Amino acid sequence: MLFENVLTYNIGWATDPFFSNMIISTVAEGFSYSSTAPVPIANFFDPGYVTQSVGFECGKLKNLTTRLGIATQEIFANKYRQYTDNPATPNKVEAFKLETGLESVTQVRLQIADNVLLTTGLRLFTRFNDLTVWDVRWDNLIVAKVNSFINVNFTYDLVYQKDQSLTTQMKEGLQVGLTYSIF
């Protein structure tokens, strides 16, 4: 689950100030399959990520919006505290972690053909204590309208977060759906 809201204020410059808030969580229980039996490693809002960012947004181009800001990222955990634990405190396992850093978000929306739309978004986050490590989330969606009531969607998502996994995680999806306008 990803929920994001952005508040911008148009001041008439090439860039406008913004404030954003983003919440990320798993919806169902997550498992690690690296051993012989599946091991639970996550559940709904365990861990939960909340990121606030303030900075400047450039949204003057028709199909491109990009923003850069100073950010705080809070990580909450209940049972699965491997995401919030501070290794510098070996006798204590923390349920909360606060990180400050930089966040960059770029979103592009392109009409490839009359019936094909590409939406892509790239989010980068780095911590001030180690600017060489970046969390990456790249979401892509291609929507093709076959006719007035059938759509085909293709999604490709890429996630890299070193403190969760040293390997890059990828997800692809192909959906066929019926669309109908009520209003």
Identity of the amino acid at 70: I
User: What is the structure's pLDDT at 32?
Assistant: 86
- The per-residue pLDDT of the chain, averaged, comes to 92
pLDDT at residue 18 in the model: 97
> For residue 124, how far is the Cα from the chain centroid?
9
Q: Could you tell me what percentage of the chain is helix, strand and coil, using 3-state DSSP and rounding each to the nearest 5?
A: 0, 65, 35
**Tell me: the pLDDT tens digits for 38-56?**
999 899 999 999 999 999 9
φ/ψ bin of 45: left (φ > 0), alpha (ψ from -120 to 50), beta (otherwise): left
Residue 12 has pLDDT above 90, yes or no: no
pLDDT(163) > 80: no
User: In sequence order, what are the residues at sequence separation of 6 or more whose Cβ sits closer than 8 angstroms to the Cβ of residue 58?
Assistant: 14, 15, 16, 65, 66, 67
Question: What is the distance between the alpha carbons of residues 134 and 128, in angstroms, rounded to a whole number?
Answer: 11
pLDDT of 84 over the 90 cut: no
Looking at residue 99, its pLDDT comes to: 94
Residue 83, φ and ψ in degrees, nearest 5: -85, -20
pLDDT class for 116, splitting at 50, 70, 90?
A: very high
pLDDT value of position 14: 86
Lowest pLDDT segment from 60-64, 65-69, 108-112 = 60-64
What average pLDDT score do residues 101-108 get? 97
Segment among 61-70, 104-113, 155-164 with least mean pLDDT: 155-164
C-alpha 72/C-alpha 180 separation (Å) is 41
